[in-house]
Amino acid sequence: MKTTNIITSVLVLAGITAKSQVAVGKQAVTNTSVSLEFANTENRGLVLPYITDKSGITAEGSMIYDTTDHKVKYLKDAGVWVNLSEDDATSATIGTADLSIQGANKTEQSTAKTVIGVNGATDTTNGILVLSDTNKAMILPKVASPHLNVINPSPGMMVYDTVKKQLAVYNGTVWSFWKP
């Protein structure tokens, strides 16, 4: 009994003090400043959650695919959403995405949550995927010319374009490219 308690205590302590780093589709992250990193892929990206009511989302830095206007957005300040999808008010760039295929026969688990990082055990931020480290970043999937190589992109997809060296987001109709 005593041995079991000691082993349990050691495992709990190790879990609390461990720094989480996650590599998806590869063996390890490239360096210690990475919290979440995806494998280099030819034609896949990160798809953001589809949100119909963003009023309950308050964590700055949250990123979503807003199904009300079919745009990729992030929360900059309390209540101020910044559009990352191209929008010049033409039907070609506003468009609509057919989301019926994406959510067919699926039910949402409203309590689903994954926290990656040293603060994972205590982080109370609402979200599906929360990166809780304050000194690590996420590396997006890297795709050369995603507008040419991602055959069937999903609305809300994000990748890093290795050719143009910039963020690429897909709103269901067109790719938008962001460069500092």
Give 30-87 pLDDT, tens digit per residue.
888 888 888 876 677 888 888 888 888 888 888 888 888 888 888 888 788 988 887 6
In a domain, 7, yes or no: no
- The count of structural domains within the chain is 1
Q: In this structure, what token pair is assigned to residue 124? A: 């109370």
CB 95, CB 173: distance < 8 Å: yes
In a domain, 12, yes or no: no
In a domain, 10, yes or no: no
Q: In this structure, what token pair is assigned to residue 99? A: 């989301």
Domain region containing 27:
20-178
pTM value is 0.67
In a domain, 74, yes or no: yes
In a domain, 62, yes or no: yes
In a domain, 9, yes or no: no
In a domain, 92, yes or no: yes
What pLDDT band is residue 149 in, cutting at 50, 70 and 90? Answer: very high
